[in-house]
Amino acid sequence: MMHNDAGAVPDCNGAMARLFELLDGELTPEVERQVRSHITSCPDCFTHADFEKRFLAALHAAKAGGAAPKQCRERVMTALRTAGFTG
């Protein structure tokens, strides 16, 4: 489905091309308003946006469990002390 509404509101391709920037909070307020305006009025793009939003949420949640192993921390501290670190 294509939209070519009047004004600066983008069509489907234009809105979807900026979807990740929208979800990442990287758009200017004016462009964000324009993209959101299209998405809220287009069922296909709304579904697409909802999918990508949940995908990014799952991706962000994958960060858990990434702490450095104890031996890595010990290696770093040993190397630093050898280099003169006294902290």
Partner 1 sequence: MMTEPLAPAAKSHAEFSALALTALDDVYRFARSLTRDEADAEDVVQETYLRAFRSWTTFQPGSDVRRWLFTIARNVFLRSLERGKREVTLDDDGAEIVDAAQAQDQWIQKGLDPLLDRADLGPAIRAALDEIPETYRSAVVLVDLEDQSYEDAAEVLGVPVGTVRSRLFRGRKLLQERLFAYAQDAGFLTPSGPTRSDR
Closest distance to partner 1 from the beta carbon of 18 (Å): 9
Q: Indicate which single residue of 7, 28, 60, 70 sits in contact with partner 1 (rule: CB under 8 A).
A: 60
Q: Indicate which single residue of 7, 24, 30, 70 sits in contact with partner 1 (rule: CB under 8 A).
A: 24
Q: Which of residues 4-23 bind partner 1 (CB under 8 A)?
A: 12-13, 16-17, 19-21
CA 87 to chain centre: 37
Q: Is the dihedral of CA 55, 56, 61, 65 positive or negative?
A: positive
Q: Which is nearer to partner 1, 8 or 51 (CB)?
A: 51
**Contact call for residues 15 and 5 (beta carbons, < 8 A):** no
**Contact call for residues 42 and 3 (beta carbons, < 8 A):** yes
- The site that binds partner 1 (CB under 8 A) totals a number of residues, namely 42
